[in-house]
Amino acid sequence: MTMFSPRQDINRALSNNYPEHLKRSLIDRREKLLALAGAAGDASGHHEPPPPLPDERNPEFEAAAACVELKLTGESKRRVFATRDIHVGEVISVERPFSFTLAAADLYHCHDCFELCYNPIPCDSCSQSLYCGEACKVSAWDKYHKYECPILISLKNIVGKHKAFLLAVKMSFLIEDESQASDVYKLTENLDKEHIRDELFTTALVTALMFHLVKKYTTKFEGATRQAEEKFKELLMLHLRICLIHAAGIDELCPNVIDGEHRLLNFRSETVGCALFPFYSFLGHACCPNVFAHHHGVTRVLRAIRTIRKGQECLVSYGPYYIEHNKADRQSRLLSQYHLTCKCRACVDDWPQLDLLPYQVTSQEDYAFLGDIRNASVDVAKSSIHRFIDGVRYFEDLEPYMDLTLQQKMLSYCYDVLGNKRQVL
Ligand SMILES: [Zn+2]
Ligand SMILES: [Zn+2]
Ligand SMILES: [Zn+2]
């Protein structure tokens, strides 16, 4: 986490005609800061390092473990299945996205490396892109921002809250041909061919508009052939189609400042980024998932939230959970957003919604845990994980069951705390 970067500020002042007679005191201050940094080390992390993969790599996806494989389902889509029993809390994949865009809290994160940064520096030419330091500013400019910079405000106005469009444009600046991001293009096989007409009009229109902006206001096609322009259009439209379906959020715990609401915990989860995780995108949906996701920087870690038996499908929730949304709401949301009629156990057996009010935490130990963890203590999270894993294993055959849900919620919160979190300023 870059809480403050006074050394960089001093370097910038010295390289921008800082008065000669005052320079000595700045140089002294920089030396003191260097000595302090050496003594303190990097104590204040924005997140713990992501965990390692547990065993051999998956032969098809570097990011996934060999405990899963992709198999064709009856709906002609390849999905993820367990090749052996996977235990509660076990890591299935550790995946860095090809690229990301910020969806919120964009004053607090570097727009190039995503790390937390409370005093970012802006791009030399616009105020839309902020960086943790010179290195990221230069790197972003060279890779894509030199094209994005003149049109970024227009792009943001066009896409509104649909950040997946911005991600698609950024990817189109970064990728010259498909071989640079081969995992991304594996997703084309799962694109829904039946509903292509529904999305074709939107993606074609947005492609034409974005291409016009890039051609007219950026240097992207200076000296480029007609063929290169056509290739850009083709990839942009494909990226839009992929991102519309598969772009996923990057979550972070942030201070819980909603007034008038009972606050069990001082932190809540917020989606701050938008990225494409090709392996993750192959997982199917269930309203009662057996896999959950956590983020360490932009890296998405998938773990089993219950025991997954050999041969069973690994399933995440695309949004609706049976404990939070009734069946009619879930089904209509999944149908309109993903053209999906959910046939998970919770939908088929019509599991009841569970209302997670604080008074339903009944064990003294769990009360004590919530008291300790409310400030997102990494030590408390680390020391509690095994207790909740045991709790999930104890109750999992009784699903749907309140105590199981609570154990899963608290286990998930422990992993949240090890991942991205923003402290109160
Ligand atoms: Zn950075
Ligand atoms: Zn700029
Ligand atoms: Zn369902």
pTM: 0.86
**Is the backbone peptide bond immediately before 400 cis, with ω within 30 degrees of 0?**
yes
Q: How far is the CA of 310 from the centre of ligand 3 (A)?
A: 22
- From the DSSP assignment, how many helices (H) and strands (E) are in the chain? 15, 12
User: What residues have a C-beta under 5 A from ligand 2, the ion?
Assistant: 123, 125-126, 129, 149
Packing angle of the helix pair 226-246, 196-217 (nearest 10 deg): 130
User: Any idea which residue has 């910079």 for tokens?
Assistant: 149
Return the SS3 of 8.
helix
Q: Residue 342's pLDDT is what?
A: 95
Pairing label, strands 284-285, 315-316: parallel
Task: Kindly report which listed range (22-36, 147-161, 333-347) carries the lowest average pLDDT score.
Answer: 22-36
Task: Name beta bridge partners: 391.
Answer: none
Q: What is the 3-state secondary structure (H, E, C) of 20-65?
A: HHHHHHHHHHHHHHHHHHHHHCCCCCCCCCCCCCCCCECCCCCCEE
Question: Edge-to-edge, what's the strand order for the sheet holding 91-95?
Answer: 91-95, 299-304, 291-296
- Tokens linked to 407: 């154990």
Q: How far is the CA of 228 from the centre of ligand 2 (A)?
A: 24
Ligand nearest to the CA of 347: 3
Q: How far is the CA of 130 from the centre of ligand 1 (A)?
A: 9
Contact 320, 334 (CB under 8 A): yes
Q: How far is the CA of 117 from the centre of ligand 1 (A)?
A: 8
In CATH, what class is 68-96+277-316+326-418?
A: mainly beta
C-alpha span between 113 and 86 (Å, rounded): 32
The pLDDT tens digits for 64-80 are 999 999 999 887 789 99
The pLDDT tens digits for 284-296 are 999 999 999 999 9
Band (pLDDT 50/70/90 cuts) for residue 417 is very high
Q: How far is the CA of 136 from the centre of ligand 1 (A)?
A: 5
More confidently predicted of 268 and 363? 268
Q: How far is the CA of 217 from the centre of ligand 2 (A)?
A: 13
Ligand nearest to the CA of 286: 3
| Other Cβ atoms within 10 Å of 212 Cβ, number | 11
Please give the biggest Cα pair distance in the chain: 78
Q: Residue 19's pLDDT is what?
A: 76
Q: How far is the CA of 400 from the centre of ligand 2 (A)?
A: 51
